[in-house]
A and B are shown apart, each in its own frame.
Chain A
Amino acid sequence: MLAALALRNLFRNRRRTMLSMVVIGVGVVSLLLTLGFIRYSFDGLSDAIIRGGLAHLEVAPASVGDGTGNPIIDRAGSPPAFHGWQAVRDRIESRADVQATSAAVQLAGVLLNGDRSMAFMGAAVEPARQRSMGIAVKLRAGEALPDDAPVAGDDRVLLGVDLARALHVEVGDSIVAMVGTAAGTLNAVDLTVAGIFTTGLQELDARMAQMHLATAQRLMGTDDVTSLLVGLKDRAATETVARAIREDVATITPALTVADWESRAPFYRQVRGLYIGIFVFLGTIIGLLVCLSASNTFQMSVLERVREFGTLLAMGTDRGQLARLVVLEAVWLGVIGGAIGSILAAIIAFTINSIGIQMPPPPAAVDPLTLLVLIKPTDFLYAIVFMVVLLAIATVPPILKILRLQVVEALSHV
């Protein structure tokens, strides 16, 4: 009975209720669109990180990567130290939830083109395996590295776009790579520029080079690798698979570590923290606005019904029931306003996603972003629940008034 009465009470003053619903609806739309954009950003960023070369998991000797805390720098500064990696890879690839496992060598050295020389950080990969893991290189010119291991004299390299520019080389040109070998001596190898790519980040485009695993091993005079990159069929299974692989390789010496992509991407964690902070701040502002607006509405609504409340109290309704009535009105308002806002948000999100709005590239990135809003079904529910809670909080002042109502005074209220 109270629920039905509460719902009908909402529409006593249609204009005021509509206005409240607009406020709630706008609040829900703002929250959902922001959440959807943030989710798209997170998904996009994490996808870019995983497919950009980090893969879902990395298996490496425990000693590698202890240094500056930046895994790229630390690994590039250490010679490949993963012995017997082929057997470990076979074990990992036999898992049904693993898409592929690619050996990788990270190295650093100097690239030379005549008198020009540039320091570089290199990633040596197995192109076919990386491709099956969904890791792709964003080529700006030329072609990708061939799948087969190149023979000596036929080594190729992909250069970051700014690195190629600094070296004044184009596709087809020949350069020399010089690195410190695993034995601590020097080696140099001629490389043909097969392609020019972008990582999406300006700083890396000025430093990164990519080559076939065999080329790097030839350069460094070793059959070892730096790590194994594991690509999974389902990203959601990252933690489960990591745990399973850790158990599987626990008996191998020297000890191996299994790290997920997030722990190797400090930039992602920082961005995530920033976005969450922004979202919480925005949510707080919206919440305050909705709460204050609704509180005013409820106060007015209760003031207008003082005599009615007096009558109900006279009839034997207890104050708790009256308080519940007011809360139920808030719940209905939150549900209906939230539902309207959710529908609006869905429509706006669909429209935005269909248009394909281009946003400027984020800081340090190269390519512009297409604005997308990814809203999950559960988001609508959370938004509505959030509004209902806010509105319930907004009923506190009018409820306090009801609790202090004197029946006789209320009955004579005009």
Chain B
Amino acid sequence: MTARATAGVPVFEARGASKTYQQGAITVSAVSDISLSIAAGDFVVLAGPSGSGKSTLLNLLGGLDRPSQGSVSFAGADIGASSEADRVALRRDRLGFIFQAFNLVPVLSAFENVEYALWLTGQPRAERKARVMKALDDVGLSHRASHRPDHLSGGERQRVALARALVHDPVAIVADEPTASLDSHTAADVLMLFRTLNEARGTTFLVATHDPSIVAVAPRVIRLVDGRVASDTRVGPS
């Protein structure tokens, strides 16, 4: 079981975080001087057009990348300066990731894809089965546990991805364009699921998207323009 976030300590925090890349002779600034704080249980959407720095900020907050300047913290710990092993442990034990293209392992069944995340944490086999089935049940896919991704619809795959991200009871879910590959109806279902789980479990959700339907229902939206925070507003039902 992963440790819950400590009360009062933000789950995600950025202070003057910037990320630059070298593209040949040109230095590109993906995000600049970003400072924000996300509390436990928050459902936060990072919105903005393509190239606004949403994914880069998501990667920094999710511990997938290090800031070029400034700091990024998770539950009070500076993850930008921590070792690779610590960041791997963070992602394995306390975070769950959802990707635009689902990124399921095609040769594993739905059950096995979800089980993989538990296996990484060192859960014994006997305990894994029950938790996997519960996770699949939570996303309404326990009846499709034995199916491989190529036998699942887009929506079902994303649900499996969600189950995989949740099965180890993470502190936060980081989702990058989770509905970009789905039709509007399915996207709405998936979004509903996100909100339900957020409210039921208190899991922090950090979603990067340019989907207006998600933005519309998100309790908090941080808008990015050209790599900077343009606005940070709490909108919609909290």
Contact = CB atoms under 8 A, between A and B. Distances in A.
Interface stretch (B7-15, B102-110, B206-214, B219-227): B102-110
Interface in B72-112: 85, 88-93, 95, 97, 99, 101, 103, 105-108, 112
Contacts of B103: 307-308, 311, 411
Interface string A163-207: 000000000000000000000000000000000000000000000
Given A1-B119, A314-B64, A316-B120, A12 B91 contact: no
A8 interface: yes
A407 interface: yes
B138 interface: no
Nearest to A318: B88
A403 to B, nearest CB: 11
A408 B120 contact: no
Given A8-B108, A9-B107, A408 B88 contact: no
A350 to B, nearest CB: 37
Interface residues of B, number: 28
- Give the residue among B89, B90, B97 with the most A Cβ atoms within 10 A: B97
B91 to A, nearest CB: 4
A248 to B, nearest CB: 62
B142 interface: no
Given A9-B107, A308-B103, A408 B65 contact: yes
B59 interface: yes
B197 to A, nearest CB: 18
A314 B105 contact: no
B85 A318 contact: yes
Interface string A105-116: 000000000000
Contacts of A411: 64, 99, 103
Secondary structure type dominating chain A contacts: helix
B107 A315 contact: no
Contacts of A315: 91-92, 97, 116-117, 120, 164
A8 B113 CA distance: 13
A316 B65 contact: no
A128 interface: no
A226 B121 CA distance: 78
Given A5-B107, A408-B64, A311 B99 contact: yes
A317 interface: yes
Interface string A299-324: 00000000110011111111000000
Interface residues of A, number: 19
Contacts of A12: 106-107
Interface in A380-407: 407
Contacts of B164: 315
B42 interface: no
A87 to B, nearest CB: 73
Interface in B22-75: 59, 62, 64-65
Nearest to A407: B64
Contacts of B90: 316
A352 B106 CA distance: 45
B115 A314 contact: no
Contacts of B62: 314
Interface in A315-341: 315-318
A314 B97 contact: yes
A316 B108 contact: no
Given A407-B64, A408-B59, A316 B107 contact: no
A5 B148 CA distance: 13
Contacts of B106: 12
A411 B100 CA distance: 10
Contact of B120 (A9, A308, A311, A317): A317
21 contacts: A1-B112, A5-B105, A12-B106, A12-B107, A308-B105, A311-B99, A313-B88, A315-B97, A316-B91, A316-B92, A316-B93, A316-B117, A316-B120, A317-B92, A318-B85, A318-B88, A407-B65, A408-B59, A408-B65, A411-B64, A411-B99
Given A311-B99, A314-B97, 5 more contacts: A1-B116, A9-B107, A308-B103, A318-B85, A411-B99
